[in-house]
Amino acid sequence: MSTRVQRCVRKGAAMCAAATAAVGALPAALLAHGVTAGDKGYLEQVSGVLLAPFAYLGAKHMITGYDHLLFLVGVIFFVYRLRDVGFYVTLFAVGHTVTLMSGVLLDLRVNAFLVDAVIGLSIVYKALDNLGAYRVWFGSQPDARAATLLFGLIHGLGLATKVLDYNVNAEGLVANLIAFNVGVELGQLLGLSAILIAMSYWRRNASFARHAFGANVVLMSLGFLLAGYQLVGYFVYPTI
């Protein structure tokens, strides 16, 4: 098992290096932090309480936020009881709500590339946890509850950088931010519902046990890929 995990980590790191080389040739526009020109232009021009647009924006960001969804896939991969799924998702939601609200209200501006790189690595972390790597390497598994809350805080900081990039008018900011967070939670529920349905069908199939290891290797590799993508953005476009 140890040799298999180490081999998979090396493959994932190789994908990260390949991503670093490939992404360097991409234009800066493709490395923007999930903020479309249309959404940004609209919200920079309006003011006041805009509950519906912000709720829509929050839901849109979460549903299209493949990095957040990939992490949640890792979290629930081996969680079977709905009560446990709800517990971990709630921990994650509490974490990202705290840093989303405080990050925007306190104007905590951090480099979005670095935050998103850490989010990519959080996917790697969870995939390795699912593979049992930490038990092999260190003799014990990390506390899944603490890790989920911690990465929820980091993911929320990533969400805060998206909101701050909109340069939203201060008028009605708190109400709009609450609406955005409600939209994020709705988007998370929609995305997670689709994931749970797909996972429940897969778990009933004998192929789940055979391919669970490979699926987490893919998940880990995607995390490395996302981290490499964002790190290239940080070094190539440091002023974005």
Average pLDDT of the chain to the nearest whole number: 80
Tokens of 220: 């880990």
Structure confidence at residue 84 as a pLDDT band (50, 70, 90): confident
**For 35-39, 114-118, 176-180, which range has the lowest pLDDT when averaged over its residues?**
35-39
Measured CA to CA, the distance from residue 67 to residue 65 in angstroms comes to 5
User: At what angle are helices 112-130 and 66-76 packed, to 10 degrees?
Assistant: 20
The one-letter amino acid at 150: L
Instruction: Say what the pLDDT of residue 238 is.
Output: 64
Alpha helices in the chain (DSSP H): 2-23, 37-45, 51-64, 66-76, 82-105, 112-130, 133-138, 144-164, 173-203, 207-236
Residue 39 has pLDDT above 80, yes or no: no
Give yes or no for a contact between 54 and 183, defined as CB atoms under 8 angstroms apart. yes
Find the mean pLDDT for residues 214-225. Answer: 94
Residue 129 has pLDDT above 80, yes or no: yes
Domain ranges of the chain: 2-236
